[in-house]
């Protein structure tokens, strides 16, 4: 509901984050998007030509989505990065691709085929009586806009670089646009449409950008006007009068002071151990996917890296990396750690992480199929190349090795045997490595949790992968937005499995950490402290908050 006052206008929307910011409004002019340009084009095309154009655009978009995934994982967090995994999945959806093919076979230009298909799907989603699913319509239009832009060679740029920071105003922002916003250039954003459930809002929340969504239309004449955005009460005052500005500045100062004080407090915790009031110490480690994330992790008080997703080097290449390339990359990473421990997880490919040159068979149920350690045990040469590289790097710092997707003691034995073979080979070749390298496993299948007593006798440590443990315990695909709610609402079975495993592991004087997303959920920290979990490993943006929470636990 938007009201005019004597000096300007007051708009209301749903606030995302709590910040108060003031600055000039800048309206986002998308220009003519790929979708609009096609209105001026012939709608018919030659099927073979259009098919080839579409395939090219799809390949480019897949590359762009995996780049957005990587960037969001590094800058924002894993849950948020998954938005782009979901986008990539939507592109592969059989109904979606079949509809594209049908349109093209009927003689449509590729752009029109994309537009028609996306419109049909968006209408279907919007009509569903489920706010989460209807919000996914925005994801589809984001994808179709990007595809049309790629088909036409047009490019959308949300932000203009340079100049004073401003409040961005847009009809709507796509998730891919939101994650590309440079926080140093914009103070906040306001969208006419959008809902708090949209992926754009989820991203803004995680990026800490004050925003208002669903404010309704704002007239373009306000472009360049001063505005006061209060995300806490969901208001936007455009062209405020003097007393409104003064009152806002007081509120802003108070908020900034509180935020600064909190930040100072968080920073004061960095060099102190995270110990609950009851005296239980938890190590606060970071999850990283690439070498450049290590420095921010250390600056934010990471006491180690609890999960290095070693897939990154494989994903960034178009052929298998050599032992030398892997070794050099691990050695550089371990040197960056300044003596702190790093847990390198061996290759976890398959399911949602596909690499074309691995040439993996297409599977009906990839999450339940050929992935993680299963591939490594079937392709021993591939696995041994990585194990040798990790062992060699272990001579340059503190490395622990961790194997994903374990379901049995037998698998552990097979991994150990290959590791022993690698140690023997390196010894014969007079190549240095750490003979006491710790060997751990991820606890991410219910089988591993149930067998934790036996497994604890075999390995040095465990780290719980709650993302997979949740999907396998609840039989709910972590990639499928339709069952996301099941995962959110049924934490208890997963928590009980972790508690049982923690008891078994501690009986063996073992060590258990958590590196899945649940490690960063502050409402669970007390529960984890009660289980005597030894380490929590989280994405960089959550490090300080988790540390603070541990110190506040009983
Ligand atoms: C997990 O499953 O919780 C985990 C940390 O591994 P990934 O998300 O890489 O599968
Ligand atoms: Mg996992």
Q: How far is CA 456 from the centre of its chain?
A: 30
| 389, 504: one domain | yes
Q: How far is CA 157 from CA 33, 62, 147, 392, in A?
A: 11, 19, 15, 45
Higher-scoring residue by pLDDT: 32, 146: 146
> Do 490 and 391 fall into the same domain?
yes
pLDDT in tens, 518-538: 999 999 999 999 999 999 999
The three-state (H, E, C) secondary structure of 197-218, written as one string: CCHHHHHHHHHCCCEEECCCCC
Reported for 407-412, long-range contacts at CB under 8 A and 24+ positions apart, including other chains, are 407/445, 407/447, 407/448, 407/451, 408/447, 408/451, 409/451, 409/454, 409/455, 409/458, 411/373, 411/377, 412/441, 412/455, 412/458, 412/459
Express each pLDDT in 364-404 by its tens digit. Answer: 898 999 999 999 999 999 999 999 999 999 999 999 999 99
Query: What letters, b where the CB count within 10 A reaches 16 and e where it falls short, cover 151-183?
Result: bbebebebeeeeeebbbbbbebbbbbbbbbbee
pLDDT at position 5 is 47
The residue whose C-alpha atom lies closest to atom 6 belonging to ligand 1 is: 465
In DSSP terms, 343 is beta-bridged to 400
**Distance between CA atoms of residues 386 and 373, nearest Å:** 12
55 versus 79: the higher-pLDDT residue is: 55
272 domain residue, yes or no: no
Q: How far is CA 312 from CA 217, 221, 262, 388, in A?
A: 43, 47, 34, 18
- CA 545, CA 313: separation in Å to the nearest integer? 30
Of all protein residues, whose CA lies closest to atom 9 belonging to ligand 1? 309
CA-to-CA distance for 223 and 329, rounded, in angstroms?
49
User: Are 175 and 129 found together in one domain?
Assistant: no
> In angstroms, what is the span from residue 469 Cα to ligand 2's centroid?
8
pLDDT for the residue 93: 83
Pairing of strands 399-403, 211-213: unpaired
Is 415 among the catalytic positions? no
Q: Is residue 139 located within the same domain as residue 175?
A: no
What percent of the chain clears pLDDT 90, i.e. is strictly above it?
Answer: 55
On whether residue 266 sits in a domain, the answer given is no
Query: Ligand 1 mean position to 442 CA, how many Å?
Result: 9
- Clarify whether residues 186 and 131 are in a common domain: no
Give residue 30's pLDDT band: very low, low, confident or very high (50, 70, 90): low
Same-domain check for residues 332 and 447: yes
Residue 263, in any domain of the structure: no
d(CA 497, CA 486): 17
Higher pLDDT, 66 or 471: 471
Ligand 1 pocket mutation pick from 343, 444, 501, 542 by most atoms within 8 angstroms of CB:
444
Co-location of 374 and 303 in the same domain: yes
265 inside domain: no
pLDDT-derived band of residue 481, with 50, 70 and 90 as boundaries?
low
| Sign of the Cα pseudo-torsion (458, 462, 468, 470, in order) | positive
* The pLDDT value given to residue 35: 55
Question: For the chain, what is the mean pLDDT?
Answer: 89
Say whether both 319 and 177 belong to one domain: no
List CB contacts of 525: < 8 A, sequence separation 6 or more.
536, 546, 549, 550, 553
Is 299 a domain residue?
yes
Ligand 1 atom having least distance to the Cα of 463? 5
Exposure class string for 290-308: b at 16+ Cβ within 10 A, else e: bbebbebbbebbbbbbbbb
Which atom, in ligand 1's list, is nearest to the CA of 465? 3
Provide mean pLDDT across the span 109-126.
85
CATH number at residue 454: 3.20.20.60
Q: Which of 110, 132, 152 is the last residue of a domain?
A: 152
Which atom of ligand 1 lies nearest, measured to the CA of 516?
3
Residues 282 and 375 in one domain: yes
Q: What is the structure's pLDDT at 7?
A: 57
Q: Is pLDDT at 1 greater than 50 in this prediction?
A: no
Residue 91: CATH number of its domain: 1.10.274.10
Ligand 1 centroid distance, CA of 547 (Å): 21
pLDDT, mean of residues 97-106: 90
Of residues 288, 327, 294, 292, the one with CA closest to residue 308: 288
pLDDT tier for residue 155 given thresholds of 50, 70 and 90: low
Ligand 1: which atom is nearest the Cα of residue 444? 2
Residue 171 is assigned to a structural domain of this protein = yes
Q: Which residue is closest in CA terms to ligand 1's atom 3?
A: 465
Count of domains observed in the chain: 3
What is this structure's pTM? 0.70
Summarize pLDDT for 536-547 with one digit per residue, the tens. 999 888 899 999
Flag whether 260 is in a domain. no
Residues 132 and 214 in one domain: no
pLDDT in tens, 398-449: 999 999 999 999 999 999 999 999 999 999 999 999 999 999 999 999 999 9
- Band (454; pLDDT cuts 50, 70, 90): very high
Contact 495, 527 (CB under 8 A): yes
Q: Of the given ranges (159-173, 313-327, 330-344), which has the lowest mean pLDDT?
A: 159-173
β-bridge partners, 462: 441, 512
Q: And the tokens for 180?
A: 């590309």
Catalytic residue among 199, 376, 422, 553: 199
Same domain, 454 and 368: yes
State which residues form the domain around 75. 34-152
pLDDT tens sequence across 223-257: 999 999 999 899 999 999 999 999 999 988 888 88
Last residue of a domain, one of 201, 226, 244: 244
**What is the rounded average pLDDT of the residues 195-204?**
77
Q: Whose CA is nearest to atom 10 of ligand 1?
A: 468
Q: How far is the CA of 289 from the centre of ligand 2 (A)?
A: 13
Structure-token pair, residue 225: 């006007």
Whether 376 is catalytic: no
Q: Which residues pair with 228 in a beta bridge?
A: 22, 237
Catalytically annotated residue among 20, 376, 515, 553: 515
Is residue 74 domain-resident?
Answer: yes
Which among 152, 170, 185 is the end of a domain?
152
Alpha-carbon distances of 115 from 37, 103, 112, rounded to whole Å: 12, 10, 5
Q: Find the range with the poorest average confidence among 86-90, 160-164, 204-208, 498-502.
A: 160-164
Provide the CATH number for the domain around residue 19. 3.50.30.10
**296 contact partners, CB below 8 Å, separation of at least 6:** 540
C-alpha triplet 481, 482, 483: angle, nearest 5°: 90
What is residue 533's three-state secondary structure? coil
**Ligand 1 atom 1 nearest Cα:** 465
Task: Give residue ranges with CB within 6 A of ligand 1.
Answer: 307, 309, 348, 444, 465-468, 515-516
Ligand 2 center to 120 CA (angstroms): 34
Q: 290 and 413, same structural domain?
A: yes
pLDDT at 6: 45
């Amino acid at each position: 509901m938007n009201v005019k006052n004597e000096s300007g206008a007051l708009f209301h929307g749903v606030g995302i984050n709590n910040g108060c910011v003031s600055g000039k409004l800048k309206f986002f002019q998308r220009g003519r998007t790929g979708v609009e340009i096609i209105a001026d084009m012939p709608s018919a095309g030659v099927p073979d030509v259009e098919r080839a154009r579409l395939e090219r655009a799809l390949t480019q978009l897949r590359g762009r989505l995996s780049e957005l995934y990587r960037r969001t994982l590094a800058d924002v967090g894993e849950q948020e990065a998954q938005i782009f995994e979901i986008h990539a999945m939507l592109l592969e959806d059989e109904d979606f691709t079949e509809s594209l093919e049908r349109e093209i076979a009927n003689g449509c230009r590729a752009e029109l085929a994309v537009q028609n298909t996306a419109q049909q799907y968006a209408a279907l989603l919007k009509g569903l009586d489920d706010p989460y699913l209807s919000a996914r319509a925005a994801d589809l239009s984001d994808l179709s806009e990007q595809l049309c832009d790629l088909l036409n060679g047009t490019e959308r740029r949300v932000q203009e670089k340079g100049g004073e920071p401003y409040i961005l105003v847009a009809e709507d922002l796509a998730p891919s646009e939101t994650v590309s916003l440079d926080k140093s250039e914009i103070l906040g954003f306001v969208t006419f449409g959008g809902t708090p459930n949209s992926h754009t809002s989820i991203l803004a929340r995680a990026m800490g950008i004050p925003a208002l969504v669903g404010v309704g239309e704002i007239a373009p004449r306000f472009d360049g006007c001063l505005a006061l955005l209060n995300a806490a009460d969901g208001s936007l005052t455009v062209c405020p009068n003097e007393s409104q500005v003064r009152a806002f500045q007081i509120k802003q100062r108070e908020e900034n002071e509180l935020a600064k004080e909190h930040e100072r407090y968080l920073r004061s915790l960095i060099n102190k151990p995270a110990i609950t009031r009851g005296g239980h110490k938890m190590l606060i480690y970071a999850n990283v996917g690439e070498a450049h994330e290590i420095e921010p992790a250390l600056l934010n008080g990471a006491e180690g890296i609890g999960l290095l997703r070693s897939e990154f080097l494989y994903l960034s290449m178009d052929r298998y990396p050599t032992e030398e390339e892997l070794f050099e990359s691990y050695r550089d990473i371990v040197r960056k750690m300044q003596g702190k421990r790093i847990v390198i997880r061996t290759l976890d490919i398959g399911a949602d992480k596909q690499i074309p040159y691995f040439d993996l068979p297409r599977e009906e149920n990839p999450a339940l199929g050929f992935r993680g350690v299963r591939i490594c045990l079937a392709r021993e040469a591939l696995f041994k190349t990585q194990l040798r590289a990790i062992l060699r790097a272990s001579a340059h710092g503190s490395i622990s090795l961790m194997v994903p997707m374990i379901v049995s003691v037998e698998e552990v034995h097979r991994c150990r045997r290959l590791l022993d073979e690698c140690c023997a080979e390196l010894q014969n070749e007079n190549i240095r490595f750490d003979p006491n390298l710790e060997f751990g496993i991820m606890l991410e299948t219910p089988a591993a949790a149930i067998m934790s007593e036996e497994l604890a006798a075999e390995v040095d440590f465990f780290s719980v992968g709650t993302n997979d443990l949740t999907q396998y315990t609840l039989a709910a695909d972590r990639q499928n937005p339709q069952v996301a709610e099941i995962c959110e609402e049924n934490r208890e079975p997963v928590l009980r499995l972790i508690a049982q495993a923690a008891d078994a592991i501690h009986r063996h004087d073992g060590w258990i950490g958590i590196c899945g997303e649940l490690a960063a959920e502050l409402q669970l920290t007390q529960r984890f402290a009660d289980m005597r979990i030894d380490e929590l490993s989280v994405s960089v943006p959550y490090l300080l908050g988790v540390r603070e929470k541990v110190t506040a636990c009983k």
